[in-house]
Amino acid sequence: MHRIPRDHPRYESLRIRQLLVSGAERGLAVREGLLAHGRGEAFDYLLGERTGPEARRAARAAAAALLLAGRPVLSVNGNVASLAAPDIVRLAAAIPGAVLEVNLFHRTEGRARMIGRELRAAGRRLGARGRGLRIFADDPDARLAGLSSERARCHREGMLSADLVLVPLEDGDRAEALKRAGKTVVTVDLNPLSRTARAADITIVDNVVRALPELWRRVEGLRGAPRARLGRILGGFDNRANLARALDRIGSRLAALARAPCPPHPAPRTPFNGPRRPSR
Amino acid sequence: MHRIPRDHPRYESLRIRQLLVSGAERGLAVREGLLAHGRGEAFDYLLGERTGPEARRAARAAAAALLLAGRPVLSVNGNVASLAAPDIVRLAAAIPGAVLEVNLFHRTEGRARMIGRELRAAGRRLGARGRGLRIFADDPDARLAGLSSERARCHREGMLSADLVLVPLEDGDRAEALKRAGKTVVTVDLNPLSRTARAADITIVDNVVRALPELWRRVEGLRGAPRARLGRILGGFDNRANLARALDRIGSRLAALARAPCPPHPAPRTPFNGPRRPSR
């Protein structure tokens, strides 16, 4: 791993990337996870790499849904474990009755076990509340309908019996299978056009390293609120409209960049660049 | 490697991705290349995963520039070798005097040699024309000014003495160093905002697996055309305006998708989706 200079213009993005590369080196994440992260990086760039108003609104609704759920399950894959293990463990510990379950697109029991160990270590660092967390990792004992072979495997007392599943950075097939199984699906996905973003009930269009802490703050703020109030927050949230606003935000940013008289990295003047406009 | 079902909604994108994962498994591409590909996937998604009019216009200008050049060099890195080795070799064979040069961001002579072997194998499959190609891979004997240590290394009879360099999927530092060295720079880059896209004289905003065959068709169509005609094609091309149009295209597509009453993957109806509009 390289040391990234603090004043590098892409410091934060490179720091997040190194978390994932380091996770891949340790065997938590796989090659396909690196590709998926790269895709996320591009969307994050287009979103301005900050938590926008749509993400905050979705996080508030997600917090209400998590606190209303009877059996909430927080799903963890290799990228989530690499990027945000302490964040998702802290979030689980803040939600009464929540459990964690490891769920991998390219599943091997060895990798599931390793991620389970990672989560338990993060739990111990949280103290008593973290140590008491239920974490389902390897040896799944159930199957989710509509997914092929290894990917269908899950835990009876975890995802199979959940009424709500938080699946950050999820594949569209699983998000859709969870919906068909009648569960409320909450996701974190930087691509507002993805199948997962569209299939979910609540989509937080944000980087997982920002979204999980934001979600934790919302849960802390709403825990203990009357169920009627949580229900009103949920009822007032329209995922489709929220996704459309996130798309609009990306579109306007691109349009502004396209119109900008000075691009961030001006092209050198060459005979091939066509007619010049007067410089200012 | 997994077998991708032909009817998977993301078949083509997953197929391309597997070419790269397989290239990484064979040691042609590196982790950073997987991340970079993921970023490209996001922009390709926003472009509708097809070759738009801006890409076709840029490919036509690039073909003219390649045919006008005295010493054109086609640069090949790990991702290009994994995704499109036969395409870039066929393109080189179609351009009089063109040579291929391996050029790696994370350079090791072993990897450069391996990519050289890959290109020579693709050349042999092309027949006499492919077998006659000059390919510079390992043992560079020159340095390009303005790049650090290993990344500066190149070949005297390749990139150092080139008047035009095609550098698909290139890093911004190298594209800018090539410009400073007075070379005409042609690139293929899915991100119209990247430093490479901005620094190049001609930027084909397209997926390399579509752009190189398109460029080959344009070269075939223009080979033997009078130099004056090639010059007019080049002179009529404005890279900055073309990039702005590509950005506009993405922006309009996003705005249209945001307004669309039916997203490509409609979300299931749930109590959390907010008020319904009448169905049609």
What is the model's pTM? 0.83
CATH number of A201's domain: 3.40.50.12640
| Contact map slice: A 177-206 vs B, CB within 8 A | 179-180, 184, 191, 193, 195, 198-202
**Average pLDDT along chain B:** 89
CB contact, 8 Å: B247 with chain A? Answer: yes
User: Which of B35, B179, B198, B245 to mutate: most A Cβ within 10 Å?
Assistant: B35
Beta-bridge partners for A152? none
Find the domain containing B174 and state its range: 53-247
Percent of chain B with pLDDT over 90: 71
Whether A61 is covered by a domain: the verdict is yes
ipTM: 0.78
Q: Identify the band that residue B11 occupies on the pLDDT scale cut at 50, 70 and 90.
A: confident
Shortest Cα distance from A175 to chain B (angstroms)? 11
Shortest Cα distance from B177 to chain A (angstroms)? 11
Instruction: Write the pLDDT tens digit of every residue in B164-210.
Output: 999 999 988 899 999 999 999 999 999 998 889 999 999 999 999 99
Q: What is the pLDDT along chain A (280 residues), one digit of tens a residue?
A: 456 777 777 788 888 988 999 999 999 999 889 999 999 999 998 898 999 999 999 999 999 999 999 999 999 999 999 999 999 999 999 999 999 999 998 889 999 999 999 999 999 999 988 899 999 999 999 999 988 777 889 999 999 999 999 999 998 889 999 999 999 999 999 999 889 999 999 999 999 999 999 999 999 999 999 999 999 999 999 999 999 999 988 888 887 776 665 444 434 334 444 333 444 3
Whether A179 is covered by a domain: the verdict is yes
Q: What pLDDT score was predicted for residue A272?
A: 44
Distances B241 to A9, A261, A270, B144, B246 between C-alpha atoms, Å: 26, 11, 14, 29, 9
Give dist(CA A278, CA B254) in Å, integer.
32
Query: What values do phi and psi take at B45, rounded to 5?
Result: -60, -45
Average of pLDDT values for B210-231? 98
Residues A71, A74, A75: CA angle, nearest 5 degrees: 125
Residue type, B215: L
Residues of A in contact with B239 (CB under 8 A): 267, 272-274
Q: How many CB atoms lie within 10 A of CB B53?
A: 11
Whether A140 is covered by a domain: the verdict is yes
Whether A137 is covered by a domain: the verdict is yes
Shortest Cα distance from B277 to chain A (angstroms)? 11
Whether A29 is covered by a domain: the verdict is no
Q: Give the closest of A39, A179, A238 to B274, CB-based.
A: A238
Whether B46 is covered by a domain: the verdict is no
Residues of B in contact with A198 (CB under 8 A): 263-267
Instruction: Write the pLDDT tens digit of every residue in B38-95.
Output: 999 999 988 989 999 999 999 999 999 999 999 999 999 999 999 999 999 999 999 9
Query: Is the pLDDT reported for residue B280 higher than 70?
Result: no
Whether A11 is covered by a domain: the verdict is no
Q: What pLDDT score was predicted for residue A264?
A: 43
CB contact under 8 Å between A201 and B240, yes or no, is no
Under DSSP, is residue A227 helix (H, G, I), strand (E, B) or coil? helix
Residues of A in contact with B9 (CB under 8 A): 172, 195
Residues of A in contact with B191 (CB under 8 A): 42
Whether B178 is covered by a domain: the verdict is yes
Instruction: Write the pLDDT tens digit of every residue in B233-278.
Output: 999 999 999 999 998 888 888 877 777 644 444 343 344 443 334 3
Per the structure, the count of domains in chain A is 1
Q: What pLDDT score was predicted for residue A68?
A: 98
